[in-house]
């Protein structure tokens, strides 16, 4: 048996909608399917505005432009994240300032943010790791006190909640990803969400290559022209049609992911008691979306052994982020604030288990193998 870490799930409707998009004769961006997806996002996140992008990375880049990041401006973020979280700001001359994560959720430690703020700080970028929310009340309060923007990296967080509110709908703006490894996917894809209406007009311009084409389409201006910086951030209608098929089934996709997540969680209770692993911790105020099921092994040696054992059995669990702060580009473009002890410890202990709708039949086999290796660790 071969069990990959991820296998992109499709609902069966994707090709029908792509065919329909072709029949409609509009294949560039911002057509019928883009509108449907954007309306769905607004309805499901409570955001004021949603713009589909060709990636989560593109949405972060748009956010960095909208935040008006200037050379030397600082942006506080975790080091335990994907490169795009930092890159988007570095592309504008910004400086990522890396702060350590919490031991329970592996999210940005909100108690360490304030000490990292300087005169140059412009924004805080919380990353909702594994779709479990950061402490957004505390983060929003710090931002308000110091007049900073909060840009949520909600790439993992679609349809997750914090105190009843959808992730991506809490900060000033946020980025979602529909990369094939995420819960809802279109191969490559993403969205920028705006929760503050004052950014709406400029966001549309940045999205449409620096032009006021969106206003032209609404009949608000007679011609469209170059009015600001921008780029081509729209996905085509082919991508949006694919994504729409996924959004229609989002509820059942999440249910299936959560069923697998819950099966892992229940199966590992005993091993956690025996001390061979730590399971994910989801605070009471968070409802998550089953994005990642991870285990924390005792140390790096056990992380390596665990993965090696599974690969021999045809199962492919994977590690996750290599901390950005001591990466080649992280050293060059960013700096760390304080010691990032938890970040570096977690990075060498964490293993993500295969999790995708369609692997239900294989779960017993995965759990049996996990049982075997963890019993050895416990012996």
Give the list of residues 6+ apart from residue 311 with CB closer than 8 angstroms, or none.
none
Between 81 and 347, name the residue whose CB sits nearer to ligand PLP.
81
Of 38-46, 51-59, 220-228, 297-305, which part binds ligand PLP (CB under 6 A)?
51-59
85 near ligand PLP, rule: CB under 6 A? yes
Which residue is at the shortest CB distance from ligand PLP? Answer: 56
Query: What Å distances lie between residue 59 and 13, 92, 128, 247, CA to CA?
Result: 26, 14, 16, 18
Between 185 and 287, name the residue whose CB sits nearer to ligand PLP.
185
Between 125 and 374, name the residue whose CB sits nearer to ligand PLP.
125
Q: Which of 127, 149, 258, 286 binds ligand PLP (CB under 6 A)?
A: 127
Which backbone phi and psi does 195 adopt, to 5 degrees? -110, 5
84 near ligand PLP, rule: CB under 6 A? yes
Distance CA 43, CA 55 (A): 21
Distance CA 128, CA 181 (A): 15
Q: Which of 92, 102, 122, 156 binds ligand PLP (CB under 6 A)?
A: 156
Residue 266 Rama label (left phi>0; alpha psi -120 to 50; beta): alpha
- Alpha carbon 237 to its chain's center: 23
Which backbone phi and psi does 262 adopt, to 5 degrees? -65, -35
**Residue whose entry in the numeric block shows the structure tokens 């620096």:** 210
Between 4 and 270, name the residue whose CB sits nearer to ligand PLP.
4
Of 49-57, 200-208, 240-248, 328-336, which part binds ligand PLP (CB under 6 A)?
49-57
* 300-339 binders of ligand PLP (CB under 6 A): none
- Helix ranges (DSSP H) in 208-249: 213-217, 237-248
Query: Is 237 exposed, middle or buried (CB count within 10 Å of its CB: 0-12, 13-18, 19+)?
Result: buried
Nearest to 108 by CA among 76, 133, 78, 74: 78
CB of 119 to ligand PLP, least distance (A): 27
* 161-190 binders of ligand PLP (CB under 6 A): 177, 179, 190
Residue 96: count of CB within 10 angstroms of its CB: 27
Between 56 and 290, name the residue whose CB sits nearer to ligand PLP.
56
The token duo for 237 is: 């209608």
* 54-83 binders of ligand PLP (CB under 6 A): 55-57, 81-82
Between 254 and 374, name the residue whose CB sits nearer to ligand PLP.
254
The token duo for 234 is: 């729209």
Of 140-148, 149-157, 203-211, 243-251, which part binds ligand PLP (CB under 6 A)?
149-157
Determine the size of the site formed for ligand PLP (CB under 6 A): 14
Between 63 and 370, name the residue whose CB sits nearer to ligand PLP.
63
Which backbone phi and psi does 57 adopt, to 5 degrees? -60, -45
45 near ligand PLP, rule: CB under 6 A? no
Q: Per-residue string for binding with ligand PLP, 184-223, x by CB under 6 A? A: ------x---------------------------------
CA atoms within 13 A on the CB side of 166: 21
Q: Give the binding site for ligand PLP (CB under 6 A).
A: 55-57, 81-82, 84-85, 127, 153, 155-156, 177, 179, 190
């Amino acid at each position: 048996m071969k069990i990959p870490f991820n296998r992109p799930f499709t609902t069966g409707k994707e090709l029908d909608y792509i065919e329909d998009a072709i029949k409609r004769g509009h294949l560039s961006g911002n057509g019928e399917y883009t509108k449907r997806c954007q309306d769905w996002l607004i309805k499901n996140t409570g955001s004021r505005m949603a713009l589909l992008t060709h990636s989560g990375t593109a949405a972060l880049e748009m956010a960095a432009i909208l935040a008006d990041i200037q050379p030397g401006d600082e942006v506080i973020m975790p080091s335990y994240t994907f490169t795009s979280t930092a890159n988007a700001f570095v592309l504008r001359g910004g400086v990522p300032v890396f702060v350590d994560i919490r031991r329970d959720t592996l999210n940005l430690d909100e108690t360490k943010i304030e000490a990292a703020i300087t005169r140059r700080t412009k924004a805080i970028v919380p990353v909702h790791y594994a779709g479990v929310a950061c402490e957004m009340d505390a983060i929003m309060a710090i931002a308000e006190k110091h007049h900073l923007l909060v840009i949520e990296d909600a790439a993992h967080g679609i349809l997750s909640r914090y105190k009843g509110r959808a992730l991506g709908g809490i900060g000033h703006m946020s980025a979602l990803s529909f990369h094939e490894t995420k819960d809802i996917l279109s191969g490559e894809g993403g969205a920028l969400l705006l929760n503050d209406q004052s950014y709406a007009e400029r966001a549309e311009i940045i999205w449409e290559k620096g032009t006021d084409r969106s206003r032209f389409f609404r009949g608000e201006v007679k011609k469209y022209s170059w009015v600001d910086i921008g780029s081509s951030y729209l996905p085509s209608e082919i991508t949006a049609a694919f994504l729409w098929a996924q959004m229609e089934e989002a509820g059942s996709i999440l249910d299936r992911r959560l069923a697998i997540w819950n099966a892992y969680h229940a199966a590992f209770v005993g091993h956690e008691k025996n001390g061979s692993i730590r399971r994910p911790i989801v605070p009471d105020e968070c409802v998550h979306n089953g994005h990642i099921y991870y285990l924390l092994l005792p140390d790096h040696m056990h992380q390596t052994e665990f993965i090696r054992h599974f690969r021999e059995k045809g199962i492919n669990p994977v590690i996750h982020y290599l901390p950005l702060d001591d990466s080649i580009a992280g050293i060059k473009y960013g700096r760390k604030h304080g010691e990032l002890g938890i970040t570096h410890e977690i990075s060498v202990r964490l293993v993500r288990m295969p999790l995708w709708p369609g692997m239900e039949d294989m779960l017993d086999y995965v759990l049996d193998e996990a049982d075997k290796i963890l019993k050895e660790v416990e012996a």
